[in-house]
Amino acid sequence: MKFYSTNNKTNLVSFKEAVLNGIANDGGLFMPVEIPKLPQAFFSSLDKLSFKEISFIASRQIFGQDLKDEILSEIINSTITFDAPLVKLNNELNILELFHGPTLAFKDFGARFMANVMAYLNKDSDREIKILVATSGDTGSAVANGFYKVKGINVVLLYPSQKVSKIQEQQLTTLGENISALEVKGTFDDCQRLVKQAFLDKDLLNHCNLSSANSINIARLLPQSFYYFYAYSQIKDKSLPLIISVPSGNFGNLTAGLIAMEMGLPVHKFIAATNANDVFPKYLETSVFQAKPSVKTLSNAMDVGNPSNFVRILDLYNHDHNLIKQKIFSTSFSDSETIEAMKEIKTKYNYIIDPHGAVGYLAMKKYLSENYYNQFNGVILETAHPAKFADIVEDVLDTKIEVPERLQTCLTKKKSSIEISKDYIDFKNFILSN
């Protein structure tokens, strides 16, 4: 399949180019020239399929022209090694737990898939790939874990200093080997800007092979659609309207869900749940998108003031504001509201949720308060294990959180990071000297 740039639909590249380059040479993001529909037989048989089988069938629709079945099967088998269970809160509300992977965050799915794909595509090359990753918390650790010790690939993580949790920082900065961590004296948007600027720097591109592992890379974005199909397979009464609330920062997770819907997943409404970084709800309200500096919140992985995947959402719906409003409801919440939601969920449902999932819960509640449904299937994405935000969760709920062993291990390791300013020249000099 060919992929085009969101800046120019005639700028077409192959699957391999889209994955290994990460971003188009005109600064746009790659999109598939067509989003194939899955057959009705697939949806009719979902109950009988495993997570791996669902992922293989869905991925084959998109990547089947470029990856042989046996290769794709190997990639899926290496990627989907953990579950994404749907946990009931009550008869209508469910939590999709996406934190059972190695770094306890939803990004494990896309990062592992992409790492396996890139390793396969680069296996015969003698040129090393340098992957640049801007992270507001979870992306970096998921990507680092996925690419750890992968031959021919080095990863450079950029994260905002003092704006990620302690556990997140330990996951980012303690691997070593082919993983380097840059502690940027700025915000996540500064980190993202540095990465984007590097991809447009011809001098740098002549010096080394650059690629991206953020959700701007199509190979990290598309696999995130798999667990939407899997969530639907776990719902008993599929005749009821399906409403999905997605905690949203850079909007890759939501975009993957929208692509799943375009492939045939019968979603009645998507909810883009945001914290105080509310540029998307403002866009839906006014039809004008205005990026702004991100602000720090308890749900730090969503602290994004200029979400990259917004251009993909515009592209998906031909810049039709009314159509986007039909597909997506969006709203924002403060830290104090997030705290109250965490308490409410613990008291009402005896479920411990992290701050990001709490924002998703609040957005679902608000949407339902404004739109009556006799019955429905509500799915709230829980994107990270509460232990990753233990200091917040334990303080709010006055409850001790059990830290999984794979997190405890990284907490004992020594942090290794390099501090740089938010000026591009400092970042460029680091790349050129390493």
Burial 334-343 (b: 16+ CB within 10 A, else e): ebeebbebbe
172: DSSP letter: H
| 100 token code pair | 């059972």
Which segments within 185-333 are labelled E, that is strand?
209-212, 242-247, 269-274, 328-332
Annotated active-site residue 107? The verdict is yes
Pinpoint the alpha helices (H) of 350-404: 355-370, 390-397
What residue type is 110 in one-letter code?
A: G
105: DSSP letter: B
What angle, 0 to 180 degrees and rounded to 10, lies between the N-to-C axes of helices 355-370 and 335-349?
A: 90
Burial class of residue 76, CB neighbours in 10 A (0-12, 13-18, 19+): buried
Residue in this structure with the two tokens 């308060």, named with its chain if needed = 369
Rounded distance between C-alpha atoms, residue 261 and residue 330, angstroms: 17
Sign of the alpha-carbon dihedral angle for 421, 208, 199, 147: negative
Rounded distance between C-alpha atoms, residue 84 and residue 67, angstroms: 25
Name which of 111, 150, 110 is nearest 130 in CA terms: 150
| 118 token code pair | 């890139």
Burial 345-384 (b: 16+ CB within 10 A, else e): bbeebebbbbbbbbbbbbbbbbbbeeeeeeebbbbbbbbb
Rounded distance between C-alpha atoms, residue 264 and residue 255, angstroms: 14
11, 128, 167, 206, 285 from 14: Cα distances, Å: 11, 20, 38, 20, 37
Strand, coil or helix: 136? coil
Pairing of strands 30-32, 3-5: antiparallel
Rounded distance between C-alpha atoms, residue 434 and residue 164, angstroms: 25
39: DSSP letter: P
Q: Are 96 and 84 in contact (CB under 8 A)?
A: yes
Q: Catalytic residue, from 2, 37, 52, 107: name it.
A: 107
Name which of 195, 252, 185, 20 is nearest 115 in CA terms: 20
Q: Which residues form the catalytic set?
A: 107
